[in-house]
Amino acid sequence: MQAYVDDIRSISGENPFESMMSRFDHAAKLLHLNPDLYKVLRVPNREFTVYIPVFMDDGQIEVFTGYRVQHNFARGPAKGGIRYAPDVTLDELRALAAWMTWKCAVLNIPFGGAKGGIICNPTNMSRSELERLTRRYTAELIDVIGPERDVPAPDLNTDEQTMAWIMDTYSMHARHTVTAIVTGKPVALSGSRGRREATGRGLLFVINEAVEKLGLKISQSRVAIQGSGNVGGNAALLMHEQGYPVVAISDIHGGIHNSRGLNIPDLLAYLAARQTLEGYPGGEAISNHELLELDCEILIPAATENQITSQNAGRVRCRILAEGANGPTTANADAILERNGVFVIPDILANAGGATCSYFEWVQDRMGYFWKEETVNERLKDVLVASFHDVMRYAETHSVNNRIAAYMLAIDRVAYVTQLRGIYA
Ligand code: NAD
């Protein structure tokens, strides 16, 4: 363990893990965190690497590498998504698992943090290969996941179907149906109403609070969104419905811009039909880089990590940066944004609607009683609005930016319960 700690001591702040660690260190220092707690909270609780043999459709066996990082259990079972991608790394999962711990603590929901992933290229795999991969990965982790231990959810390239396979595999081993083992399941399998839109809806709630705090007007607050998937697409639709002019949106190939505002329902129908925004006639084409630097009031990066770095942060012109993605801004970019007066709603608060609704799903599964969508949305609003104001209070009391305030609030909460429980050392 010492070597690991030494390893991460010198950090530059330009990749997700380094960004997370540098903000953690900054916040811990301002909190005067007890040195023993600092040592414990700075590293994940445990990490698993599994090698997953899978019969491919051609009859050959392929062995895939999978991971699950369980960062912290102090406040409850670990919670976090599973991603399938060729470039999954343990380092990235460590950052994402820690962010889940801090996110759940900012929301004050009774979960710790985890994240998992499998190195694979899901676009080249058949549905049955993906099913076998998912089931064997679940079987490998069967002793360390569970409703009281660690509750997975979808992430990049995994979805409701992946969660259904995990739930079924886990249930087969348990010899009874265990719905609370995963969240983000289909509603028919005891998923929660409103889960699909929850991250976009959460963004809308916290942005509304920020707009009011800064004295802006919804009808004059132009919105640019990088990414048009679950988070970006739903945020675009909900913001459009609320009366915000959404002037730009993109996918991985590039974006569409219209300074008078885009017709979002029409654009999303185009995207659903063609799987690309290329050629959409309602605006002019722009690149993803140009989108991040557009003159607008609200910028929502909702695609992937490391989009706003020390290289382009000085050209970001929005008034509010609401981080839909996890880790879209590097630690080195933070200081530049702060100098330029950008009001950052950090990822661990801004995109926390999904985690909150996952908590609601877990609660509903354990009660066996399912709420109406309006109830889910009302409770989602209560949690996010309260968390937004908790972070604002920390920022004001400690004279720090919103991101460091969110980390301080989260670390304070996790440190407090760790101290109450005592360290079993
Ligand atoms: P998604 O796969 O549904 O959509 C991703 C979108 O980003 C797509 O439009 C894709 O074309 C675009 N994209 C991908 N790579 C890109 C790149 N390099 N440059 C520009 N655009 C790119 O994924 P999602 O569920 O919407 O998640 C997006 C981000 O939000 C991720 O960082 C994820 O971890 C985070 N997040 C998701 C949820 C959730 O509930 N889905 C919750 C919290 C955070």
Provide the pLDDT for residue 305.
Answer: 87
Residue minimizing CA distance to atom 32 of ligand 1: 325
351 lines ligand 1 (CB under 6 A): yes
Nearest residue by C-alpha to atom 29 in ligand 1: 325
Is 115 part of the annotated catalytic residue set? Answer: yes
Q: Looking at the chain, which residues constitute the CATH 3.40.50.10860 domain(s)?
A: 44-189
State if residue 326 touches ligand 1 by the CB under 6 angstroms criterion. yes
Q: What is the pLDDT of residues 157-206, one digit of tens each?
A: 999 999 999 999 999 999 999 999 999 999 999 999 999 999 999 999 99
| CATH 3.40.50.720 residue ranges for the chain | 198-350
Superfamily of domain 44-189 in the CATH hierarchy: Leucine Dehydrogenase, chain A, domain 1 (3.40.50.10860)
Q: Residue 14: its pLDDT value, please?
A: 64
Across the range 354-364, mean pLDDT stands at 98
In Å, the largest CA–CA distance within the chain is 63
CA-closest residue to ligand 1 atom 20: 252
Residue 11 has what pLDDT?
43
Fold of 198-350: Rossmann fold (3.40.50)
* pLDDT value at 3 more than 60: no
Which residue from 251, 268, 306, 380 has its CB within 8 A of the most atoms of ligand 1, so it is best to mutate?
251
First to last CA, the chain: 14
Check residues 70 and 13 and name the one with the higher pLDDT. 70
Residues 21-40: tens digit of each pLDDT: 999 999 999 999 999 999 99
Residues 6+ positions from 165 with CB-CB distance below 8 Å: 131, 134, 135, 138
Give the position, in ligand 1's atom list, of the atom nearest the Cα of 328.
32
Q: Is the CB of 194 under 6 A from ligand 1?
A: no
CA distance 385 to 201: 12
Which tens digits make up the pLDDT trace of 288-321? 999 999 999 999 999 988 999 999 999 999 999 9
Which of 192, 252, 253 best tests ligand 1's pocket when mutated (most atoms within 8 Å of CB)?
Answer: 252
Quick check: 99 and 90 in contact, CB under 8 A? Answer: no
Burial 337-366 (b: 16+ CB within 10 A, else e): bbeeebbbbbbbbbbbbbbbbbbbbbbbbe
Residue 9: pLDDT over 70: no
pLDDT band at 16 (very low <50, low <70, confident <90, very high): confident
Banded model confidence at residue 123, pLDDT cuts 50, 70, 90: very high
Q: What's the rounded mean pLDDT across residues 333-354?
A: 97
Q: Quote the ligand 1 centre to 199 CA distance (angstroms).
A: 11
227 lines ligand 1 (CB under 6 A): yes
Tell me: pLDDT of 4 over 70: no
| Model pLDDT, residue 13 | 54
pLDDT at 6 over 90: no
* Residue 303 beta carbon below 6 angstroms from any ligand 1 atom: yes
**pLDDT value of position 19:** 84
Most informative mutation of 83, 196, 304, 359 for ligand 1 (most atoms within 8 A of CB): 304
What pLDDT band is residue 107 in, cutting at 50, 70 and 90? very high
Is the CB of residue 232 below 6 angstroms from any atom belonging to ligand 1? yes
Indicate whether residue 278 lines ligand 1 (CB < 6 A): no
Residue 30 CA from chain centroid, whole number: 25
Q: Is the CB of 231 under 6 A from ligand 1?
A: yes
Give the mean pLDDT of the chain: 95
Q: Which residues contact 238 (CB under 8 A, 6 or more apart)?
A: 197, 200, 201, 203, 204
Q: Please check the confidence at residue 373 and state whether its pLDDT lies above 50.
A: yes
Selecting among 103, 115, 185, 381, the annotated active-site residue is 115
The CA distance from 359 to 117, in Å, is 21
The pLDDT of residue 8 = 35
Closest residue (by CA) to atom 4 of ligand 1?
A: 229
Residue nearest to atom 34 of ligand 1 (CA): 326
Of the candidate ranges 6-15, 134-143, 154-163, 338-347, the one whose mean pLDDT is the lowest: 6-15
Q: Is 307 in the pocket of ligand 1 (CB under 6 A)?
A: no
Ligand 1, atom 19, residue with closest C-alpha:
252
Share of the chain above pLDDT 70, in %: 97
pLDDT at position 5 is 34
User: Per residue in 215-262, pLDDT tens?
Assistant: 999 999 999 999 999 999 999 999 999 999 999 999 999 999 999 999
- Assess whether pLDDT exceeds 70 at residue 56: yes
For residue 2, pLDDT beyond 70: no
User: Which residues have CB under 8 Å from 17's CB, separation 6+?
Assistant: 8, 91, 92, 94, 95
Interhelix angle 402-421/373-398, nearest 10 degrees: 100
